[in-house]
Amino acid sequence: MTYSLSETVLVPATPEETYRLISDVTRTGEWSQQCHRCTWDTDERGVGATFTGFNRFKEREWQTTSTVVTADEGREFAWSVGPGKAIWGYRLAPVGDGETELTQYTEVGESVESYFRQTYGDAAERQLASRQRAAASGIPLTLDTIRSILAAEASSTTPR
């Protein structure tokens, strides 16, 4: 089972402001539905930098190591997760004055499917389907939360 999912929202911030938020992985816990904390593994940033995600879903907790695969300021930030190399990321496009179309996406390809077969055996399809459902429900919630954070940050910096 391979799949790609994406959702898009309009956020009240420039692509550069939006990028600064979403590329700061230490803030991921503020908006993610599963990842409650991330830490950079080294001082390196940009493509090739790695970070650890601390995740929770229902009664399960686990850690992942991710590698930044795209770091194009104001345009896209993406990373591959773990040994299966699932891709997660954000694409940004300017819209009007001070707004951005923000897309979150995930791509689960054959290498992830193979990793799940090796790890979960006969339960691989069920595990992948569960992850797909979680991503499909989590992405819109994540984007809504990011939009709210950006709106709050914009209102706190707006002169009165």
Q: Is residue 61 part of a domain?
A: no
Exposure b/e, 26-49, CB count within 10 A at least 16 = b? ebbeebbbbbebbeeeeeeeeeeb
What pLDDT shows up at residue 37? 97
| pTM score over 0.85 | yes
What's 9's domain CATH number? 3.30.530.20
| DSSP of the chain | --EEEEEEEEESS-HHHHHHHHT-GGGGGGT-SSEEEEEESSS--STT-EEEEEEEETTEEEEEEEEEEEEETTTEEEEEETTTTEEEEEEEEEETTTEEEEEEEEEE-HHHHHHHHHHHGGGHHHHHHHHHHHHHHHHHHHHHHHHHHHHHHHHHHS--
The domain of 25 spans 3-31+72-157
Location of structure tokens 């706190």: 156
User: 124 in a domain, yes or no?
Assistant: yes
- pLDDT-derived band at 159 (thresholds 50, 70, 90) equals low
Would 103 be classed as within a structural domain? yes
Task: Kindly state whether residue 36 falls inside one of the protein's structural domains.
Answer: no
pLDDT single digits (tens) 142-151: 999 999 999 9
In a domain, 102, yes or no: yes
pLDDT in tens, 24-56: 999 999 999 999 999 999 999 999 999 999 999
pLDDT tens for 88-135 read: 999 999 998 899 999 999 999 999 899 999 999 999 999 999 989 999
pLDDT at position 84 is 74
Q: Please state the domain count of the chain.
A: 1
- Is position 119 within any domain? yes
Question: 116 to each of 125, 151, 158, how far by Cα in Å?
Answer: 8, 38, 48
Q: Rounded to 5 degrees, what are φ and ψ at 85?
A: 65, 40
Is there a domain that residue 47 lies in? no
Asked if the structure places residue 150 within a domain, the reply is: yes
In this model, does residue 158 exceed pLDDT 70?
A: no
Residue 115 CA to its chain's centroid (Å): 20
